[in-house]
Amino acid sequence: MLRMRLIVGTLLILGLIAIAWLDASSPIIRLGQGRIGPGLVLIAVCIFAFAPILAWEFNRLTSAKSSRSGFWLNYLAISLGIASVGILPDLLPEHLVMPAVLTCPFLILFVCAIIHARTRQIDGFVQSVGAVFLGYAAIGVPLGFWILLRHDRDAWTLAGAILCVKSADIGAYFTGISIGRHRLIPWLSPGKTWEGLAGGIIFSGCIGAALATLSASALAMNALVDPIAIAYGALVAVVLGVTGTLGDLLESLLKRGAGVKDSGSILPGMGGLYDVFDSLLLAGPVAWWMLAN
């Protein structure tokens, strides 16, 4: 299991570097008064690759019976969450942004009502709509904040922030299996320990400081990376590490409710895509608030 985790984890890091490299050179598409980008590659990957997988896994966690309609409702909600934060503000004229963003939840509710009406059943409407809105708020909107961060910062800073979040996961895992003794929340996530949490936060802070040091190098300047102070880089990494842990616990709550160990099996040794993204999602808005120019 550990060997498989290392292999898949390495491939994911390489994938992150590849997306950052492609996105750093991606064009901005002009559409009338608006635009799509920077972050064109990131937007495409989120909408057409990540969102469908996350919608399928989330539907499995929140629906008593995973259904095709549930998948499409979750995909719609996640996509609209991404668009409302990361796409519409740049695509539309300023006076239309707020009405368009606020129309997204209304559209989700309207479509959910139409789909549920087709079943000719009264029971379960509130629960099913609530689950779809949870996907909108817990997956779509946070992914939109990562795209929003790409609008304000370079692709490599965004990749570094993602690496800081996942460094907390890596540090917590290895510290936990080495010296972990005291359970963090036994009833929710028996595998997490206080020692693992501390190790993850420390490791994340070290990675943040290292990346901040690298941001001032000649290589980073040639890549048009904005430098970050070392102390602030470490602080951001620590905050993102803590927030990411809370995101992991949120997914644990969903998995406990669904009675499953993993959200899926698409990533050998790690489970589903949501199992990898859980910490990143909750950290998305925090990363924007701390790093956006």
Number of Cβ within a 10 Å radius of residue 99: 9
Co-location of 180 and 291 in the same domain: yes
Co-location of 48 and 176 in the same domain: no
Last residue in a domain, options 117, 152, 187:
152
Q: What is the DSSP letter of 188?
A: T
Q: Is the confidence at residue 128, as pLDDT, over 90?
A: no
pTM, to two decimals: 0.93
Q: Is the confidence at residue 121, as pLDDT, over 80?
A: no
**CB-neighbour burial class of residue 66 (10 A; exposed 0-12, middle 13-18, buried 19+):** middle
Does residue 38 have a cis peptide bond before it, meaning omega lies within 30 degrees of 0? Answer: yes
The Cα-based distances of 19 to 13, 103, 159, 271 in angstroms read: 10, 31, 9, 22
Q: Is the confidence at residue 11, as pLDDT, over 90?
A: yes
Using 50, 70 and 90 to split pLDDT, how confident is the model at 44? very high
pLDDT in tens, 180-225: 899 999 999 888 999 999 999 999 999 999 999 999 898 888 877 8
Co-location of 215 and 124 in the same domain: no
pLDDT in tens, 240-280: 999 999 999 999 999 998 889 999 999 998 999 999 999 99
Share of the chain above pLDDT 90, in %: 71
Check if the beta carbon of residue 211 is closer than 8 Å to that of residue 178: no
Co-location of 36 and 146 in the same domain: yes
Number of domain units in the chain: 2
Check if the beta carbon of residue 143 is closer than 8 Å to that of residue 50: yes
Co-location of 86 and 68 in the same domain: yes
pLDDT at 199: 96
Last residue in a domain, options 152, 185, 211:
152
Co-location of 293 and 168 in the same domain: yes
Co-location of 52 and 195 in the same domain: no
Domain of 179, in residue numbers: 1-25+155-293
Cα–Cα distance, 133 to 196 (Å, whole number)? 32
Co-location of 6 and 37 in the same domain: no
Last residue in a domain, options 91, 125, 152:
152
pLDDT at 72: 93
* 273-291 helix and 141-152 helix, angle to the nearest 10 degrees: 50
Amino acid residing at 114:
I
Q: Is the confidence at residue 62, as pLDDT, over 80?
A: yes
CA nearest 183: which of 197, 171, 170? 197
Check if the beta carbon of residue 282 is closer than 8 Å to that of residue 254: no
Co-location of 64 and 131 in the same domain: yes
Using 50, 70 and 90 to split pLDDT, how confident is the model at 34? confident
Q: Is the confidence at residue 109, as pLDDT, over 80?
A: yes
pLDDT at 65: 66
Share of the chain above pLDDT 70, in %: 99
Co-location of 133 and 197 in the same domain: no
